[in-house]
Structure 1
Amino acid sequence: MTNIPKWLLKAINKILRAFIWKDLQQVQGGCCLVAWDKVQRHIDLGGLGIPN
């Protein structure tokens, strides 16, 4: 695996969350209706199966 800069990982994560929750301009934190740890759970456990 390559070394990916933290700033790039944060930027990608922000885009992914914006895709799921709201558009990119509105994502500022605190707008999610479901906790991220529940979203990333396996589908069999009630989550969406989205890897963190």
Structure 2
Amino acid sequence: MCRLDRGLRGLTRKGQPLTAVGKVQRIDSLRGFFCDLIDWEWIALRFDEPPP
């Protein structure tokens, strides 16, 4: 979604807590961003090993 597509929605709830749907959308956007970074090989997929 482009910044311009949001219209006034972002301004009408400025300062208000995110709704559950809003939180899911933000997390999903970040997930897609990091998946793209991994696909483009800009970052490596790593899992930290638990400490001994």
Instruction: Indicate the structure whose relative CO is greater, using CA pairs within 8 Å and at least 6 residues apart.
Output: 1
TM over 0.5: no
Category of TM-score, reference length = shorter chain: 0.3 to 0.5
Could you state the TM-score of these two structures normalised by the residue count of structure 2?
A: 0.37
TM-score (structure 1 length as normaliser):
0.37
Kindly indicate which of the two structures has a greater share of residues assigned to helix.
2
